[in-house]
Structure 1
Amino acid sequence: MTSTFNVVARYRTKPGTTDEVLGHLGRMAAQTRDEPGNISYEFFRGVEDDRKIVILESYHTAEDFDLHRQTQHFLTIGAVHIIPELEARTVSTYVTANSPAEAP
């Protein structure tokens, strides 16, 4: 049985920075989706509170996520442009068991 490494990041932006952060996340998402270990990278803006953002990421392995955090786009877009514009940030990780496909 294989598994998928999943990341859920929750952000709360500083007042007046949400649109800017979302623009940076768009660039981050595009570059992350090109990483060999990435399965998906999606982000969503809150409806009830538009300063809340949730990011859902999936990788083949935890090591692939570690490599993602060492990429140039993470170190510049994430660390320099996004994180300083946040009031709060939590990152949680989960593993999803992928059952083998059944034989026909």
Structure 2
Amino acid sequence: MSIAEFDEYEESKLLRKAKENPFVPIGMAGFFGIVAYRLLKLKNRGNTKMSVHLIHMRVAAQGFVVGAMTLGVVYSMYRDYVLKPAAAQKALEQKALENK
């Protein structure tokens, strides 16, 4: 396997995983966005100690990621336990109508 084939395989795997669970890239983007914003605000932090500023940055970034993960789990449960059984029930009803 060449390096080009390996890169293509890894890229397609990443895109496939992102389509399966879209909240992971959203959580990562939010994390990096919050960290970048708070690092830019570092100059204008006023009298706040550096450690307190960094703790606030970490808590905000982690909170965003945990929120995205929670939404992802809720979405996954909704898809698995609400949409799939409804589609299966509809398919059974359709099959029963065709057999009559």
TM-score by length of 2: 0.25
Bigger radius of gyration among the two: 2
TM-score by length of 1: 0.24
Q: Which has the higher helix share?
A: 2
